[in-house]
Amino acid sequence: MDIAAKRSIVDYVAATKNEILVDERLFSLLGTSPEVLGYLPRIPKWIGWGRRFPRLTRTMSHLIRFAWLCGGAVFLFSLNFVAAWARAPRAPRPRRNMSADSKSYILALSDRVEDIMGRSPFAEDPLFADATWVCVPWVPMQSRPQRNHVDASSLLTRGDLFQAFIKSVTAVYVLWRHKHTSRWVLQSYTAFRWFVVRSALEKLDGAMITCEHYDRWAILVDSTVGARTRRHGGSGSGVEMILVQHGYMGGLGKDHEESLQLPIHRRLRAVSRMYLYDAAAKKFFMDAVVSRGRTRRGIATTFFRPQIELTAMPADKLVKILFVGHPLCEELHLSIINKLVHHARFAAYYKPHPKAAMSGKATAQEWTVINDPACFPAVDFLVSYPSTLVTEYEATGIPAQIHPLDLDPANSDGLVRQILDGIAMHQRRLSG
């Protein structure tokens, strides 16, 4: 294995450590720990079930980890490899869907990218509007035929895929051998996909546009651009990383100042331009996400306001409230609405977190669930943790009652009073 391959494995381990630190922060907000619930990745997907059955969840975590280390990882990567092998050519295909003079690439590494890049101001900016989209098969794109795009697999040879497989298996071994990451070795389920995308990006020259902040995919882009820039002899190579903010940055702390203390193992070193919501977001990225060396060299920053199109709801003379859902505050929202119904009449809507399923109790609640991620109901105000939707709705003139992500339902009486005051105020407006 050559030096470049070893460096890519080091980068993957660093990226995984970022994921681990964020998950440990989430456990802390829950008032628990992975020792209690198990070292499973993608916490929002299972936390509701896990908190109800902690012993079973922990036992399953141990069993899955054992199976992963005893061949499960190789089996999954083999399936990934076979699927990618079927799509990949013996030699890279002509890039039929790419502009001949592509100077920028939008990396569609998550489903949020299409939603963000399709809105103003990016839809009108030539840097973004003329960019080629780099797509991956595990992230479906609704509007792919309308854009210049290229499948990452079409950039790779079957030899590249074999190298990605070898690196993936090696990365699992490295994570297992490292003291801090050994228990979190299940985080390596993304390894093959990560190395496939890395190999694809290494074949492109131009600006890499990403909506990832500091997770494993952000580090992938950052480390790839950094390596390409070094090989091209520094600045002036045409290879750069452009970061576009995709969500509110205060969600991992009780308040904004605490969120600035988010522990990140590997900071971004190659980002040269950022498109952010406001000065507070810039402070967060400069203080907690971007490396100090990169900060000293300066980063061009452009501010923008995320925009949404509201969907009219039935005009029934009732105050309309939208609860913005998240697994960590589902019990809080259920407690709040059960208190509110005894004191006021209103129409309640619930927009679940796009990355986590609702519990049975939330589904059974008498509110209208907005499952369509592209539907933003026109309401009178929101009840939400510090989320992107708060910023987006505020841009349309709709306020929010904001609560901490980890507010205990037992301490919600003050919030309930504020919501009742809001209902009364809006009801007077509707009656007048």
Print pLDDT tens along the chain (432 aa).
788 899 999 999 999 999 999 999 888 877 889 999 999 999 888 887 888 899 999 999 999 999 999 999 999 999 999 999 887 766 555 454 454 457 899 999 988 888 888 776 787 788 888 899 999 989 887 765 566 888 898 899 989 999 999 999 999 999 999 988 999 999 999 999 999 999 999 999 889 999 999 999 999 999 999 988 877 666 556 789 999 998 877 555 444 444 445 678 999 999 999 999 989 899 999 999 999 999 999 999 999 888 888 999 887 789 999 999 988 899 999 999 999 999 999 999 999 987 777 888 888 998 999 998 889 999 999 999 988 899 889 989 999 999 998 899 999 999 999 999 999 999 888 876
pLDDT at 91: 54
CA 413 to chain centre: 32
**Does residue 310 sit in helix, strand or coil?**
strand
Backbone phi, then psi, for 349, in 5-degree steps?
-125, 150
Give the contacts of 295 (CB within 8 A, at least 6 positions apart).
286
Amino acid letter, 97: N
Q: Is the peptide bond before 121 cis (omega within 30 degrees of 0)?
A: yes
- Tokens coding 210: 């990403």
CA distance 38 to 55: 9
- Tokens coding 220: 């992938």
364-32-322-311 Cα dihedral, nearest 10 degrees: -90
Q: Where are the alpha helices (DSSP H) in 178-269?
A: 191-201, 216-231, 256-259
pLDDT at 255: 45
Q: Are 351 and 370 in contact (CB under 8 A)?
A: yes
CA distance 42 to 215: 12
CA distance 126 to 129: 5
pLDDT at 418: 96
End-to-end CA distance of the chain: 75
- Tokens coding 62: 């141990």
Amino acid letter, 83: A
| Beta strand ranges found along 16-159 (DSSP E) | 104-108, 132-135, 149-151
Give the contacts of 228 (CB within 8 A, at least 6 positions apart).
202, 205, 237, 239
CA distance 177 to 192: 19
pLDDT at 130: 87
Task: Report which of 57, 7, 14 is spatially closest to residue 181, judged by C-alpha positions.
Answer: 14
Domains and CATH numbers, the chain: 3-303 (no CATH), 310-431 (3.40.50.2000)
Give the contacts of 161 (CB within 8 A, at least 6 positions apart).
81, 84, 85, 88, 196
